[in-house]
């Protein structure tokens, strides 16, 4: 009974803060909705399609990570998602999660799931984690990806039994997937275990987006139907992409969505590294305001769901609020924290990310 009450309290607390996030996002455009931050570029896997990992990088020092989390708090960020590389390889991940919660931000991670045993899940519970996402690429492992349902199903069972945080399982359809039915098998298994599900659309090997076949569309539609939760249902941007058509939307990357690499630089997203490439510790509300209205050439065929979803609130803001700016933030919020400038990373060609 005590565990039941505690889990319900955590769920209610998370729901309250989600509602608060939406209300604040509708009233004020001068703060990020979602920041994705990388504490470690190294990964234990080597998926052939991925350009977001290496095999040699050391973890970012804890004191450096905590300063970055504090800066996100000063910018009034709503959600901080830790990614990689593989974030569960960072030795101080739990302390980073705790700092996110101490700064009253929602805390999530994106992981490949391979390190998720019962004890590790319980430590994530204790740290205050609120969201976890795993992308599963296929039912059987192959030369492209080891992130398969076969290799991860036991980890999913551990999550179903022990996790006190929300779990989302992402699958993919599109070019290069030899067995599109795998996405539906993965979504059904996730649904069976009580998890929410999302489905992403991937490019071909040239980086181009091609229309889905009728068979792939049917699988995509069924995966969407199985999805649960508001976040997973914000997917209207994918309908045009399914047909190979562009979307007419305002990308708020650099404003509502921030991607912070291991060097501490703010980028539009994981696939557009190199712009604006400004150190997070120097990032201010003026940068957010500039990037809020800056057009992004990659936007029409963008498949990156987290950027679309973080930009969604501004489509529903009352017209009277779209041109309304709040009073100037406090000097503490506007002033950057001293830091050592990191080197500028190279720009990557766009590929899909859920």
DSSP 222-277: HHHHH--SHHHH--THHHHHHTTPPP-----BTTTEEEE-TTSEEES-TTSTTSEE
Q: How does pLDDT run across 338-352, given as a tens digit for each residue?
A: 333 333 333 333 333
Residues 152 and 116: beta-carbon distance below 8 Å: no
Half-sphere exposure of 287 (CA within 13 A, CB side): 24
Q: How does pLDDT run across 208-246, given as a tens digit for each residue?
A: 577 888 999 999 999 988 876 555 556 778 888 888 889
Please enumerate in sequence order all residues whose Cβ is within 8 A of that of 52, keeping only pairs 6 or more positions apart, or say none.
Answer: 41, 43, 83, 84, 85, 270
Closest CA to 78 of 104, 59, 56, 97: 104
> Residue 353: its pLDDT value, please?
40
Determine the Cα–Cα distance for residues 253 and 96; give it in Å rounded to an integer: 23
Closest CA to 309 of 19, 15, 114, 22: 22
Closest CA to 269 of 95, 18, 35, 58: 35
Full-model pTM:
0.85
CATH number 3.20.20 is the correct assignment for the domain at 2-334: yes
Place of tokens 């309290």: 9
Determine the Cα–Cα distance for residues 112 and 85; give it in Å rounded to an integer: 9
Determine the Cα–Cα distance for residues 275 and 53; give it in Å rounded to an integer: 19
Average pLDDT over residues 73-87: 97
Out of 52-56, 100-104, 189-193, pick the least confident.
52-56
Determine the Cα–Cα distance for residues 154 and 166; give it in Å rounded to an integer: 17
Please enumerate in sequence order all residues whose Cβ is within 8 A of that of 177, keeping only pairs 6 or more positions apart, or say none.
Answer: 138, 183, 202
Q: How does pLDDT run across 237-285, given as a tens digit for each residue?
A: 888 888 888 999 999 999 999 999 999 999 999 989 999 999 999 999 9
> Residue 231: its pLDDT value, please?
54
């Amino acid at each position: 009974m005590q565990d039941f009450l505690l889990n319900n309290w955590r769920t209610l607390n998370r729901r309250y803060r989600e509602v608060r996030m939406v209300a604040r996002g509708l009233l004020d455009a001068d703060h990020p909705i979602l920041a994705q931050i990388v504490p470690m570029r190294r990964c234990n896997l080597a998926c052939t399609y991925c350009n977001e990992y290496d095999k040699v990088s050391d973890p970012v020092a804890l004191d450096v990570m905590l300063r970055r989390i504090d800066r996100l708090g000063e910018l009034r960020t709503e959600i901080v998602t830790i990614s990689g590389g593989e974030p569960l390889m960072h030795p101080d991940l739990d302390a980073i999660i705790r700092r996110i919660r101490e700064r009253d931000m929602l805390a999530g991670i994106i992981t490949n799931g391979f390190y998720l045993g019962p004890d590790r899940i319980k430590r994530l519970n204790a740290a205050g984690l609120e969201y976890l996402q795993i992308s599963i690429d296929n039912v059987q492992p192959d030369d492209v990806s080891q992130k398969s349902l076969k290799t991860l199903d036991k980890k999913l069972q551990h999550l179903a039994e022990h996790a006190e945080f929300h779990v989302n399982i992402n699958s993919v359809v599109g070019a290069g997937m030899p067995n599109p039915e795998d996405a539906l098998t993965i979504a059904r298994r996730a649904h069976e275990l009580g998890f929410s599900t999302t489905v992403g659309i991937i490019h071909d090997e040239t980086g181009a987006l091609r229309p889905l076949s009728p068979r792939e569309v049917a699988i995509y539609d069924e995966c969407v139907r199985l999805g649960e939760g508001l976040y997973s249902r914000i997917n209207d941007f994918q309908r045009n992409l399914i047909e190979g058509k562009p979307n007419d939307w305002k990308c708020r990357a650099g404003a509502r969505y921030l991607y912070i690499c291991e060097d501490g630089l703010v980028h539009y997203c994981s696939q557009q590294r190199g712009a604006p490439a400004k150190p997070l510790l120097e990032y201010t509300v003026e940068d957010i305001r500039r990037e809020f209205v800056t057009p992004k050439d990659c936007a029409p065929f963008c498949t990156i769901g987290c950027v679309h979803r973080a930009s969604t609130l501004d489509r529903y803001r009352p017209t009277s609020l779209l041109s309304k700016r709040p009073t100037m933030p406090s000097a503490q919020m506007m002033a950057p924290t001293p830091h050592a400038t990191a080197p500028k990373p190279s720009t990557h060609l766009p590929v899909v990310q859920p």
